Protein backbone atom coordinates (compact mmCIF):
# COMPACT_ATOMS: atom_id res chain seq x y z
CA UNK A 1 0.00 0.00 0.00
CA UNK A 2 1.01 3.61 0.07
CA UNK A 3 3.29 4.87 2.85
CA UNK A 4 0.29 6.15 4.81
CA UNK A 5 -3.16 5.04 5.91
CA UNK A 6 -6.30 7.15 6.19
CA UNK A 7 -7.90 7.39 9.64
CA UNK A 8 -10.80 5.22 8.40
CA UNK A 9 -12.05 2.67 7.47
CA UNK A 10 -8.94 0.62 8.28
CA UNK A 11 -6.79 -0.34 11.23
CA UNK A 12 -3.20 -1.46 10.79
CA UNK A 13 -2.05 -4.79 12.19
CA UNK A 14 1.45 -6.02 12.86
CA UNK A 15 4.60 -4.26 11.74
CA UNK A 16 4.63 -0.48 11.26
CA UNK A 17 3.77 0.67 7.77
CA UNK A 18 6.92 1.71 5.85
CA UNK A 19 7.37 3.42 2.54
CA UNK A 20 7.50 -0.02 0.99
CA UNK A 21 3.77 -0.59 1.37
CA UNK A 22 2.07 -1.47 -1.87
CA UNK A 23 -1.03 -1.52 -3.88
CA UNK A 24 -0.99 1.84 -5.61
CA UNK A 25 -0.46 2.27 -9.32
CA UNK A 26 0.94 5.15 -11.35
CA UNK A 27 1.87 5.96 -14.94
CA UNK A 28 5.12 4.57 -16.35
CA UNK A 29 7.53 5.83 -18.98
CA UNK A 30 9.15 4.04 -21.89
CA UNK A 31 12.74 2.94 -21.57
CA UNK A 32 15.50 4.95 -23.20
CA UNK A 33 17.38 3.38 -26.07
CA UNK A 34 20.61 1.62 -25.20
CA UNK A 35 22.09 1.96 -28.65
CA UNK A 36 24.62 4.65 -27.75
CA UNK A 37 25.54 3.43 -24.28
CA UNK A 38 28.67 1.48 -23.35
CA UNK A 39 28.19 -2.26 -23.19
CA UNK A 40 27.74 -2.41 -19.41
CA UNK A 41 25.17 0.41 -19.37
CA UNK A 42 23.40 -0.98 -22.43
CA UNK A 43 22.79 -4.22 -20.57
CA UNK A 44 21.09 -2.28 -17.78
CA UNK A 45 19.16 -0.11 -20.20
CA UNK A 46 17.79 -2.74 -22.54
CA UNK A 47 13.99 -2.73 -22.75
CA UNK A 48 12.29 -4.94 -20.23
CA UNK A 49 10.53 -6.61 -23.13
CA UNK A 50 13.94 -8.11 -23.89
CA UNK A 51 14.75 -9.00 -20.29
CA UNK A 52 15.10 -12.71 -19.64
CA UNK A 53 15.89 -14.50 -16.38
CA UNK A 54 19.59 -14.21 -15.60
CA UNK A 55 21.89 -16.94 -14.32
CA UNK A 56 21.72 -16.99 -10.56
CA UNK A 57 23.32 -18.80 -7.65
CA UNK A 58 20.23 -20.67 -6.43
CA UNK A 59 21.58 -21.04 -2.91
CA UNK A 60 22.23 -17.31 -2.69
CA UNK A 61 18.76 -16.53 -4.00
CA UNK A 62 17.08 -18.90 -1.55
CA UNK A 63 19.01 -17.56 1.43
CA UNK A 64 18.14 -13.97 0.48
CA UNK A 65 14.43 -14.83 0.29
CA UNK A 66 14.48 -16.63 3.64
CA UNK A 67 16.39 -13.82 5.36
CA UNK A 68 14.19 -11.03 4.00
CA UNK A 69 11.03 -12.95 4.90
CA UNK A 70 12.21 -13.48 8.46
CA UNK A 71 13.02 -9.77 8.75
CA UNK A 72 10.10 -8.09 6.98
CA UNK A 73 7.09 -10.44 6.91
CA UNK A 74 4.52 -8.78 9.15
CA UNK A 75 3.01 -11.76 10.95
CA UNK A 76 5.77 -13.04 13.22
CA UNK A 77 3.35 -15.42 14.92
CA UNK A 78 2.70 -17.08 11.56
CA UNK A 79 6.44 -17.52 11.03
CA UNK A 80 6.64 -19.28 14.38
CA UNK A 81 3.64 -21.48 13.62
CA UNK A 82 5.11 -22.54 10.30
CA UNK A 83 8.54 -23.07 11.82
CA UNK A 84 10.03 -20.83 9.17
CA UNK A 85 13.72 -21.41 9.75
CA UNK A 86 13.28 -25.17 10.16
CA UNK A 87 11.15 -25.42 7.01
CA UNK A 88 13.67 -23.31 5.11
CA UNK A 89 16.50 -25.65 6.12
CA UNK A 90 14.44 -28.63 4.95
CA UNK A 91 13.57 -27.07 1.59
CA UNK A 92 16.95 -25.51 0.75
CA UNK A 93 18.58 -28.64 -0.74
CA UNK A 94 15.71 -29.13 -3.20
CA UNK A 95 16.03 -25.51 -4.37
CA UNK A 96 19.80 -25.65 -4.77
CA UNK A 97 19.50 -28.89 -6.74
CA UNK A 98 16.60 -27.71 -8.93
CA UNK A 99 17.14 -28.51 -12.63
CA UNK A 100 16.33 -24.92 -13.69
CA UNK A 101 15.85 -21.44 -12.21
CA UNK A 102 12.17 -21.74 -13.13
CA UNK A 103 11.79 -24.89 -11.05
CA UNK A 104 13.78 -23.33 -8.22
CA UNK A 105 11.38 -20.36 -8.19
CA UNK A 106 8.43 -22.76 -8.13
CA UNK A 107 9.86 -24.53 -5.08
CA UNK A 108 10.59 -21.25 -3.29
CA UNK A 109 7.03 -20.12 -3.96
CA UNK A 110 5.71 -23.40 -2.57
CA UNK A 111 7.56 -22.60 0.67
CA UNK A 112 6.24 -19.03 0.73
CA UNK A 113 2.71 -20.38 0.16
CA UNK A 114 2.93 -22.12 3.53
CA UNK A 115 2.57 -18.66 5.10
CA UNK A 116 -0.96 -18.57 3.63
CA UNK A 117 -0.80 -14.82 3.07
CA UNK A 118 -1.46 -12.73 -0.02
CA UNK A 119 1.03 -10.26 -1.48
CA UNK A 120 3.78 -12.84 -0.94
CA UNK A 121 5.69 -14.47 -3.81
CA UNK A 122 9.02 -14.61 -5.60
CA UNK A 123 8.69 -12.99 -9.02
CA UNK A 124 10.97 -13.61 -11.99
CA UNK A 125 11.22 -11.80 -15.35
CA UNK A 126 8.96 -14.53 -16.75
CA UNK A 127 6.05 -13.31 -14.56
CA UNK A 128 3.82 -10.45 -15.72
CA UNK A 129 3.43 -9.36 -12.09
CA UNK A 130 7.21 -8.79 -12.04
CA UNK A 131 6.75 -5.84 -14.40
CA UNK A 132 3.50 -4.53 -12.97
CA UNK A 133 4.78 -4.41 -9.40
CA UNK A 134 8.16 -3.02 -10.43
CA UNK A 135 6.25 -0.20 -12.11
CA UNK A 136 4.25 0.39 -8.92
CA UNK A 137 7.19 0.57 -6.56
CA UNK A 138 9.67 2.17 -8.91
CA UNK A 139 7.32 5.05 -9.55
CA UNK A 140 5.97 5.77 -6.09
CA UNK A 141 7.85 4.31 -3.16
CA UNK A 142 11.04 6.18 -2.32
CA UNK A 143 12.77 3.40 -0.39
CA UNK A 144 12.30 0.94 -3.25
CA UNK A 145 12.88 3.30 -6.16
CA UNK A 146 16.67 2.99 -6.21
CA UNK A 147 16.55 -0.81 -6.26
CA UNK A 148 14.00 -0.80 -9.08
CA UNK A 149 16.01 1.69 -11.12
CA UNK A 150 18.98 -0.63 -10.85
CA UNK A 151 16.88 -3.33 -12.50
CA UNK A 152 14.90 -1.14 -14.90
CA UNK A 153 16.98 1.73 -16.14
CA UNK A 154 14.64 4.43 -17.40
CA UNK A 155 11.29 2.76 -16.80
CA UNK A 156 9.40 -0.51 -16.87
CA UNK A 157 7.92 -2.12 -19.96
CA UNK A 158 7.42 -5.60 -21.35
CA UNK A 159 6.48 -7.01 -24.73
CA UNK A 160 2.87 -8.14 -25.08
CA UNK A 161 -0.47 -7.79 -26.80
CA UNK A 162 -2.73 -6.81 -23.88
CA UNK A 163 -4.21 -10.10 -22.70
CA UNK A 164 -4.08 -12.35 -19.63
CA UNK A 165 -4.48 -16.10 -19.50
CA UNK A 166 -5.22 -18.91 -17.09
CA UNK A 167 -4.29 -22.57 -17.27
CA UNK A 168 -7.27 -24.93 -16.95
CA UNK A 169 -6.76 -28.69 -17.25
CA UNK A 170 -3.35 -28.06 -18.75
CA UNK A 171 -4.64 -25.72 -21.46
CA UNK A 172 -4.14 -21.95 -21.81
CA UNK A 173 -7.34 -19.91 -21.97
CA UNK A 174 -7.73 -16.16 -22.31
CA UNK A 175 -9.38 -14.86 -19.13
CA UNK A 176 -9.03 -11.10 -19.73
CA UNK A 177 -8.42 -8.73 -22.64
CA UNK A 178 -7.58 -5.07 -22.05
CA UNK A 179 -9.94 -2.68 -23.80
CA UNK A 180 -8.21 -0.83 -26.61
CA UNK A 181 -5.29 -3.27 -26.75
CA UNK A 182 -3.88 -4.96 -29.88
CA UNK A 183 -5.40 -8.22 -28.61
CA UNK A 184 -8.88 -6.73 -28.49
CA UNK A 185 -8.51 -5.07 -31.89
CA UNK A 186 -7.38 -8.39 -33.39
CA UNK A 187 -10.51 -10.12 -32.07
CA UNK A 188 -9.03 -12.19 -29.23
CA UNK A 189 -11.83 -13.07 -26.80
CA UNK A 190 -12.19 -14.32 -23.25
CA UNK A 191 -12.52 -18.09 -23.46
CA UNK A 192 -10.28 -18.58 -26.48
CA UNK A 193 -7.85 -21.46 -26.05
CA UNK A 194 -4.39 -20.39 -27.19
CA UNK A 195 -2.78 -23.36 -28.87
CA UNK A 196 0.41 -21.65 -30.00
CA UNK A 197 2.16 -18.35 -30.63
CA UNK A 198 4.33 -18.32 -33.75
CA UNK A 199 4.22 -22.10 -33.70
CA UNK A 200 5.52 -22.44 -30.13
CA UNK A 201 3.66 -23.05 -26.85
CA UNK A 202 1.98 -19.96 -25.43
CA UNK A 203 3.52 -18.06 -22.53
CA UNK A 204 2.31 -14.65 -21.39
CA UNK A 205 5.83 -13.19 -21.36
CA UNK A 206 8.20 -15.52 -23.23
CA UNK A 207 6.00 -15.81 -26.31
CA UNK A 208 6.41 -12.09 -27.08
CA UNK A 209 9.89 -11.31 -25.78
CA UNK A 210 12.04 -9.71 -28.46
CA UNK A 211 9.12 -9.19 -30.87
CA UNK A 212 8.16 -5.54 -30.30
CA UNK A 213 7.22 -4.00 -33.63
CA UNK A 214 6.50 -7.38 -35.18
CA UNK A 215 3.28 -9.32 -35.63
CA UNK A 216 2.69 -12.50 -33.64
CA UNK A 217 0.55 -15.30 -35.06
CA UNK A 218 -1.76 -16.77 -32.44
CA UNK A 219 -3.35 -20.13 -33.10
CA UNK A 220 -6.60 -20.31 -31.14
CA UNK A 221 -9.52 -22.67 -30.69
CA UNK A 222 -12.95 -21.28 -29.86
CA UNK A 223 -14.98 -24.45 -29.40
CA UNK A 224 -14.11 -27.68 -27.64
CA UNK A 225 -12.69 -30.09 -30.21
CA UNK A 226 -13.41 -27.41 -32.81
CA UNK A 227 -11.14 -26.21 -35.62
CA UNK A 228 -8.25 -23.86 -34.94
CA UNK A 229 -7.88 -20.43 -36.46
CA UNK A 230 -5.10 -17.88 -36.64
CA UNK A 231 -5.03 -14.28 -35.43
CA UNK A 232 -2.35 -11.80 -36.43
CA UNK A 233 -1.62 -9.51 -33.46
CA UNK A 234 0.94 -6.68 -33.29
CA UNK A 235 3.36 -6.96 -30.38
CA UNK A 236 3.84 -3.67 -28.52
CA UNK A 237 5.85 -2.31 -25.61
CA UNK A 238 3.51 -2.22 -22.62
CA UNK A 239 4.05 0.21 -19.75
CA UNK A 240 1.87 -1.66 -17.24
CA UNK A 241 0.33 1.14 -15.18
CA UNK A 242 -0.32 3.37 -18.16
CA UNK A 243 -1.88 0.45 -20.06
CA UNK A 244 -4.22 -0.48 -17.20
CA UNK A 245 -5.35 3.13 -16.77
CA UNK A 246 -5.91 3.51 -20.50
CA UNK A 247 -7.92 0.28 -20.59
CA UNK A 248 -10.17 1.59 -17.80
CA UNK A 249 -10.83 4.77 -19.77
CA UNK A 250 -11.36 2.83 -23.01
CA UNK A 251 -13.87 0.50 -21.34
CA UNK A 252 -16.44 3.26 -20.78
CA UNK A 253 -19.56 2.71 -22.84
CA UNK A 254 -23.34 2.84 -22.72
CA UNK A 255 -25.28 -0.42 -23.04
CA UNK A 256 -28.75 0.06 -24.49
CA UNK A 257 -31.25 -2.62 -23.51
CA UNK A 258 -35.06 -2.59 -23.53
CA UNK A 259 -35.13 1.15 -24.01
CA UNK A 260 -32.81 1.81 -21.07
CA UNK A 261 -29.29 3.24 -21.07
CA UNK A 262 -26.84 1.56 -18.70
CA UNK A 263 -23.36 3.01 -18.22
CA UNK A 264 -20.43 0.59 -17.89
CA UNK A 265 -16.83 1.05 -16.73
CA UNK A 266 -14.24 -1.68 -16.15
CA UNK A 267 -11.73 -0.75 -13.42
CA UNK A 268 -8.51 -2.63 -14.14
CA UNK A 269 -6.43 -1.03 -11.40
CA UNK A 270 -7.41 1.26 -8.53
CA UNK A 271 -4.77 3.91 -8.98
CA UNK A 272 -5.97 7.28 -7.73
CA UNK A 273 -9.54 7.30 -8.96
CA UNK A 274 -8.83 9.57 -11.91
CA UNK A 275 -9.23 6.81 -14.50
CA UNK A 276 -12.66 5.85 -13.11
CA UNK A 277 -13.68 9.50 -12.83
CA UNK A 278 -12.72 10.23 -16.44
CA UNK A 279 -14.42 7.06 -17.64
CA UNK A 280 -17.63 7.98 -15.82
CA UNK A 281 -17.56 11.39 -17.48
CA UNK A 282 -17.54 9.60 -20.83
CA UNK A 283 -20.75 7.67 -20.23
CA UNK A 284 -22.76 10.77 -19.30
CA UNK A 285 -24.79 12.16 -16.42
CA UNK A 286 -27.43 10.31 -14.50
CA UNK A 287 -31.00 11.54 -15.04
CA UNK A 288 -31.58 12.65 -11.47
CA UNK A 289 -29.01 15.45 -11.61
CA UNK A 290 -29.41 16.29 -15.29
CA UNK A 291 -27.10 17.50 -18.04
CA UNK A 292 -24.87 20.52 -17.57
CA UNK A 293 -26.05 23.62 -19.45
CA UNK A 294 -22.39 24.31 -20.22
CA UNK A 295 -22.12 21.19 -22.39
CA UNK A 296 -22.70 21.98 -26.09
CA UNK A 297 -24.30 18.60 -26.70
CA UNK A 298 -24.96 16.86 -23.40
CA UNK A 299 -25.29 13.07 -23.53
CA UNK A 300 -28.62 11.45 -22.91
CA UNK A 301 -29.25 10.54 -19.27
CA UNK A 302 -28.41 7.11 -17.89
CA UNK A 303 -30.81 4.73 -16.21
CA UNK A 304 -28.13 2.91 -14.26
CA UNK A 305 -24.41 2.30 -13.88
CA UNK A 306 -22.28 -0.85 -13.75
CA UNK A 307 -18.80 -0.70 -12.22
CA UNK A 308 -16.78 -3.78 -13.11
CA UNK A 309 -14.17 -4.44 -10.41
CA UNK A 310 -12.94 -7.70 -11.93
CA UNK A 311 -9.51 -6.21 -12.51
CA UNK A 312 -5.96 -7.51 -12.18
CA UNK A 313 -4.40 -5.19 -9.62
CA UNK A 314 -5.49 -3.71 -6.31
CA UNK A 315 -4.58 -0.10 -5.78
CA UNK A 316 -4.04 2.79 -3.45
CA UNK A 317 -5.52 2.34 0.01
CA UNK A 318 -7.27 5.73 -0.16
CA UNK A 319 -8.88 5.06 -3.55
CA UNK A 320 -11.95 3.15 -2.23
CA UNK A 321 -13.13 6.29 -0.47
CA UNK A 322 -12.74 8.26 -3.68
CA UNK A 323 -14.77 5.67 -5.59
CA UNK A 324 -17.59 5.94 -3.06
CA UNK A 325 -17.52 9.72 -3.44
CA UNK A 326 -17.79 9.40 -7.21
CA UNK A 327 -21.01 7.41 -7.10
CA UNK A 328 -22.53 8.97 -3.96
CA UNK A 329 -20.96 12.35 -3.12
CA UNK A 330 -20.86 13.11 0.60
CA UNK A 331 -20.50 16.87 0.32
CA UNK A 332 -23.23 19.51 -0.18
CA UNK A 333 -24.73 20.13 -3.61
CA UNK A 334 -24.42 23.74 -4.71
CA UNK A 335 -24.31 26.17 -7.62
CA UNK A 336 -23.24 29.74 -8.22
CA UNK A 337 -25.74 32.54 -7.64
CA UNK A 338 -26.49 35.40 -10.01
CA UNK A 339 -24.53 34.24 -13.05
CA UNK A 340 -27.20 31.85 -14.29
CA UNK A 341 -24.49 29.25 -14.85
CA UNK A 342 -24.57 26.07 -12.81
CA UNK A 343 -21.20 24.73 -11.72
CA UNK A 344 -19.88 21.97 -9.48
CA UNK A 345 -23.29 20.35 -9.25
CA UNK A 346 -22.88 16.69 -8.43
CA UNK A 347 -25.38 13.94 -8.09
CA UNK A 348 -25.65 10.50 -6.58
CA UNK A 349 -26.25 7.24 -8.36
CA UNK A 350 -27.02 5.50 -5.08
CA UNK A 351 -29.49 2.70 -5.57
CA UNK A 352 -29.03 2.51 -9.32
CA UNK A 353 -25.66 0.80 -9.57
CA UNK A 354 -24.32 -2.73 -9.63
CA UNK A 355 -20.71 -3.79 -9.02
CA UNK A 356 -19.19 -6.88 -10.63
CA UNK A 357 -16.69 -8.98 -8.66
CA UNK A 358 -14.77 -12.24 -8.92
CA UNK A 359 -11.55 -13.89 -7.72
CA UNK A 360 -9.51 -11.21 -9.52
CA UNK A 361 -11.03 -8.50 -7.30
CA UNK A 362 -8.33 -7.97 -4.72
CA UNK A 363 -6.72 -5.65 -2.19
CA UNK A 364 -7.94 -2.02 -2.44
CA UNK A 365 -10.69 -3.16 -4.81
CA UNK A 366 -11.95 -5.46 -2.05
CA UNK A 367 -11.95 -2.57 0.40
CA UNK A 368 -14.17 -0.66 -2.00
CA UNK A 369 -16.65 -3.48 -2.61
CA UNK A 370 -16.81 -4.24 1.13
CA UNK A 371 -17.73 -0.62 1.86
CA UNK A 372 -20.13 -0.51 -1.09
CA UNK A 373 -21.91 -3.59 0.22
CA UNK A 374 -22.03 -2.21 3.74
CA UNK A 375 -23.65 1.00 2.52
CA UNK A 376 -26.24 -1.00 0.57
CA UNK A 377 -25.73 1.13 -2.52
CA UNK A 378 -26.54 -1.75 -4.83
CA UNK A 379 -25.81 -5.43 -5.37
CA UNK A 380 -22.44 -7.07 -5.74
CA UNK A 381 -22.76 -9.57 -8.59
CA UNK A 382 -20.49 -12.41 -9.68
CA UNK A 383 -18.35 -14.61 -7.45
CA UNK A 384 -16.36 -14.21 -4.24
CA UNK A 385 -13.37 -11.86 -4.19
CA UNK A 386 -9.76 -12.95 -3.71
CA UNK A 387 -9.43 -12.33 0.02
CA UNK A 388 -6.06 -10.69 -0.66
CA UNK A 389 -6.05 -7.69 1.67
CA UNK A 390 -2.56 -7.18 3.04
CA UNK A 391 0.01 -4.47 2.37
CA UNK A 392 2.93 -5.61 0.28
CA UNK A 393 6.54 -4.53 -0.07
CA UNK A 394 8.87 -5.27 -2.98
CA UNK A 395 12.50 -6.27 -2.49
CA UNK A 396 15.30 -6.84 -5.01
CA UNK A 397 16.69 -10.36 -4.95
CA UNK A 398 19.82 -11.91 -6.51
CA UNK A 399 19.69 -12.63 -10.23
CA UNK A 400 17.37 -9.73 -11.03
CA UNK A 401 14.39 -11.31 -9.27
CA UNK A 402 11.91 -9.59 -6.95
CA UNK A 403 10.39 -10.69 -3.66
CA UNK A 404 6.84 -9.47 -3.07
CA UNK A 405 6.17 -9.70 0.65
CA UNK A 406 3.26 -8.87 2.96
CA UNK A 407 4.69 -6.30 5.37
CA UNK A 408 1.48 -5.31 7.17
CA UNK A 409 -1.97 -6.77 7.80
CA UNK A 410 -5.20 -4.81 7.54
CA UNK A 411 -8.59 -5.07 9.21
CA UNK A 412 -11.75 -3.04 8.96
CA UNK A 413 -12.73 -0.65 11.75
CA UNK A 414 -15.51 -3.06 12.76
CA UNK A 415 -12.86 -5.74 13.26
CA UNK A 416 -13.63 -7.72 10.12
CA UNK A 417 -10.58 -9.17 8.40
CA UNK A 418 -10.94 -9.72 4.66
CA UNK A 419 -7.57 -11.42 4.21
CA UNK A 420 -8.19 -15.06 3.36
CA UNK A 421 -11.98 -14.56 3.43
CA UNK A 422 -12.92 -12.17 0.66
CA UNK A 423 -16.26 -10.53 0.01
CA UNK A 424 -19.22 -12.62 -1.11
CA UNK A 425 -21.59 -11.39 -3.85
CA UNK A 426 -25.19 -10.49 -3.12
CA UNK A 427 -26.19 -12.17 -6.36
CA UNK A 428 -23.97 -15.07 -7.37
CA UNK A 429 -23.42 -15.50 -11.10
CA UNK A 430 -20.75 -17.79 -12.55
CA UNK A 431 -18.66 -16.90 -15.58
CA UNK A 432 -17.26 -20.07 -17.18
CA UNK A 433 -14.07 -19.34 -19.12
CA UNK A 434 -13.24 -22.20 -21.53
CA UNK A 435 -14.66 -21.56 -25.01
CA UNK A 436 -16.86 -18.71 -23.73
CA UNK A 437 -16.39 -16.76 -26.97
CA UNK A 438 -16.41 -13.55 -24.96
CA UNK A 439 -19.76 -14.21 -23.26
CA UNK A 440 -20.20 -12.51 -19.88
CA UNK A 441 -23.20 -13.81 -17.93
CA UNK A 442 -22.31 -11.59 -14.94
CA UNK A 443 -22.52 -8.40 -17.00
CA UNK A 444 -25.72 -9.60 -18.65
CA UNK A 445 -27.29 -10.27 -15.24
CA UNK A 446 -26.33 -6.79 -14.03
CA UNK A 447 -27.89 -5.16 -17.08
CA UNK A 448 -31.11 -7.13 -16.57
CA UNK A 449 -31.20 -6.12 -12.90
CA UNK A 450 -30.79 -2.41 -13.61
CA UNK A 451 -33.27 -2.15 -16.48
CA UNK A 452 -35.97 -3.57 -14.21
CA UNK A 453 -35.54 -0.95 -11.51
CA UNK A 454 -38.27 1.70 -11.37
CA UNK A 455 -37.45 5.08 -12.87
CA UNK A 456 -35.57 7.36 -10.44
CA UNK A 457 -37.26 10.35 -8.90
CA UNK A 458 -35.67 13.70 -9.74
CA UNK A 459 -34.32 15.60 -6.72
CA UNK A 460 -36.35 18.50 -5.41
CA UNK A 461 -34.79 21.90 -4.64
CA UNK A 462 -33.81 22.38 -1.04
CA UNK A 463 -35.23 25.93 -1.12
CA UNK A 464 -33.70 29.34 -1.62
CA UNK A 465 -32.18 30.91 -4.67
CA UNK A 466 -29.14 29.16 -6.07
CA UNK A 467 -29.56 26.09 -3.86
CA UNK A 468 -30.54 22.47 -4.44
CATH assignment at residue 222 = 2.30.42.10
Can you give the pLDDT at residue 297? 60
Can you give the pLDDT at residue 313? 84
429 and 283, same domain (yes or no): yes
* Contacts (Cβ under 8 Å, ≥6 apart) of 85: 66, 70
Does 369 map to a domain? yes
182 and 61, same domain (yes or no): no
Structural domain boundaries enclosing 181: 159-238
Can you give the pLDDT at residue 29? 27
Positive or negative: CA dihedral 432, 434, 440, 441: negative
Domain boundary among 238, 261, 283: 238
**Residues 391, 367 contacting (CB under 8 angstroms):** no
134 and 81, same domain (yes or no): yes
Number of structural domains the chain divides into: 3
96 and 72, same domain (yes or no): yes
pTM of the model: 0.82
What is the 8-class DSSP label of residue 347? -
Does 462 map to a domain? no
73 and 130, same domain (yes or no): yes
Residue 213 Cα distances to 50, 235, 246, 407, angstroms: 13, 6, 20, 39
Report percent pLDDT > 90 for the chain.
58
305 and 355, same domain (yes or no): yes
438 and 337, same domain (yes or no): yes
Identify the segments of the chain with pLDDT beneath 50: 1-46, 48-49, 287-293, 342-347, 460-468
Residue 253 pairs with which residues in a beta bridge?
Answer: 264
What does the CA dihedral 24, 213, 162, 43 come to, rounded to 10 degrees?
A: -40
Q: 330-364: per-residue pLDDT in tens?
A: 655 555 565 555 444 444 567 899 999 999 999 99
Does 409 map to a domain? no
142 and 259, same domain (yes or no): no
325 and 425, same domain (yes or no): yes
Q: How far apart are CA 77 and CA 360, in angstroms?
A: 28
Can you give the pLDDT at residue 273? 76
298 and 184, same domain (yes or no): no
257 and 339, same domain (yes or no): yes
Does 173 map to a domain? yes
Q: How far apart are CA 207 and CA 199, in angstroms?
A: 10
Does 271 map to a domain? yes
Instruction: Residue 324: name the closest of 307, 312, 311, 310 by CA.
Output: 307
Does 410 map to a domain? no
Can you give the pLDDT at residue 48? 45
135 and 198, same domain (yes or no): no
CATH code: domain of residue 328: 3.90.226.10
Can you give the pLDDT at residue 296? 52
Q: How far apart are CA 67 and CA 315, in angstroms?
A: 27
Q: What is the residue-averaged pLDDT of the chain?
A: 82
Does 344 map to a domain? yes
Amino acid sequence: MLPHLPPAPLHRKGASLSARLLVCLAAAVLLASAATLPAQEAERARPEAERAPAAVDLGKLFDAVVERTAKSFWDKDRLVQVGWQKRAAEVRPSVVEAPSPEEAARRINALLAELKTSHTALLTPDDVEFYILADVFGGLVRETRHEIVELFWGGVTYAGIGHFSVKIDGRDFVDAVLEGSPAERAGLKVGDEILAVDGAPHHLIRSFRGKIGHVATLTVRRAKDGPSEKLEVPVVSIAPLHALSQATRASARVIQHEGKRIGYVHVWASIDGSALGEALAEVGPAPWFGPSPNAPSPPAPLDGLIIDMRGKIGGNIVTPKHYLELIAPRGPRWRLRGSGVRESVTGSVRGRTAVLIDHHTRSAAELFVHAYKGEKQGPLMGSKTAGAVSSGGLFAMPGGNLLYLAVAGLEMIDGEVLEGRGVAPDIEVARPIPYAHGADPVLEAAVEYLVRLPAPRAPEPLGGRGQW
